[in-house]
Chain A
Amino acid sequence: MNSFAEFLAMGGYGFYVWMSYGISTVVLLLNVVIPIIQKKQFLRELALKQKRAK
């Protein structure tokens, strides 16, 4: 493959190839990002609960 445009086009199958990689990336990112956010949120709420309990 020679140019970046050719790389994107993927021999005419660009839509299918990049959709596949795109969807995979999004799904796999979410699986890591969501738990990280959940953890921060949980610890924040837990800290609040503990402060109230004191």
Chain B
Amino acid sequence: MSIVPEFIVRFYHKTASPPYFYSLSNKLLPWLTAIFLILLGYGLYGGLYLAPTDYQQGDSYRIIYVHVPAAWMSLFIYVVMAIAGGISLIWRMKIADVVLISSAPIGASFTFIALVTGSLWGKPMWGTWWVWDARLTSELILLFLYLGVISLYGAIEDKRTASKAVAILALVGVVNIPIIHYSVQWWNTLHQGPTVTKMDKPSIHLDMLIPLLVMATAFKLYYAIAMLQVAKVEILMREQNTQWVKKLLEDK
């Protein structure tokens, strides 16, 4: 008798099937989009309008409402990719492959956003577009990791082999994330790095915190939406010769 309830196991097996996953995505997307837009609206309203002006940073701190959620997502998505890679390698699940490669461009985009908005925040605040401290350097390397996954997948012609390759790469890379962050932090403290990021303030005003958490949740929903959109294309490409895709075309 398994500890996992029967209906979860059945659901797990069902989603492993591409046609089911495809139709499930289509059913979920409107709901995800609706909730996302509501949360986004509330988060932006709270962050850009309701939250009080910071006594030290003025209104420039409001960049936090995209910068921090984007940075959180950049890390979260890579971990999701690593988990998907593990599932793919262990259980040879096609959908896991699809989730992995669909997430990569989104993760890279969030990393890019985190870096750019960070620079835009840093320039007026600390006078420089860039500094080689622990967080920035780690985030830059994370961008390279994402680009590596995307490039490797594109470079290998047989997509089944390509999927296995990026699964291995994602798993190896995820080990690297804490290592890089830790090593660069060490390097930074040895060089007496310039600043501690403003987020390490012990107490953040609740009016400022709530929009942040709302935006973070909104971004998670966005990830699901964007990932499913990419996944649908990926599934169609992989399954183009199957019956269910042919039927899908006929139904149009």
Contact = CB atoms under 8 A, between A and B. Distances in A.
Contact of A24 (B49, B113, B121, B245): B113
Interface of B: 48-49, 53, 58-60, 62-63, 66-67, 70, 105-106, 109, 112-113, 116-117, 120-121, 123-124, 222, 225-226, 229-230, 232-233, 236-237, 240, 245-246, 249, 252
Contact of B240 (A27, A39, A46): A46
Contacts of A50: 246, 249
A43 B252 contact: yes
Nearest to A33: B229
A6 B96 CA distance: 48
B47 to A, nearest CB: 10
Contacts of B240: 46
Interface centre among A17, A19, A38, A50 (most CB of B within 10 A): A17
Given A23-B113, A28-B113, A47-B249, 17 more contacts: A1-B53, A7-B49, A10-B62, A11-B58, A16-B121, A17-B60, A17-B62, A20-B120, A21-B63, A24-B70, A31-B105, A32-B229, A35-B226, A35-B233, A36-B229, A42-B233, A42-B236
A50 B229 CA distance: 24
